[in-house]
Amino acid sequence: MSVVVSAKVPKELRERARRYGISISKVVRRTLEAEVAKAEEEKLRTALDEVSHKLKRRVAKEDLVRAVRESREGR
């Protein structure tokens, strides 16, 4: 399911994008996906820091990061 998102851009910018065959919707979608992924990673990084602090460094941060990555990869 999709939703419509709108944004105002200067008319000249839209015309220039069309002139070069740039799909504004694709650019917006890719950029939004990248920003969401960045925010999710930052939230995860913050959570890992909190867990690491609570464990009083009993587990190395690198080990936690590796465990999360492995769980994402389905290992």
* Mean pLDDT per 10-residue interval, the chain, length 75 residues: 93 98 96 96 89 71 82 75
The answer to whether position 3 is within a domain reads: no
- Cβ atoms of 61 and 48 within 8 Å: the answer is yes
DSSP string, 18-52: HHTT--HHHHHHHHHHHHHHHHHHHHHHHHHHHHH
Instruction: Kindly state the tokens that stand for 63.
Output: 């080990």
What is the span of the domain harbouring residue 35?
11-73
The answer to whether position 45 is within a domain reads: yes
Give the pLDDT confidence score for residue 11 in this predicted structure.
Answer: 97
The answer to whether position 6 is within a domain reads: no
Single pTM value for the model: 0.64
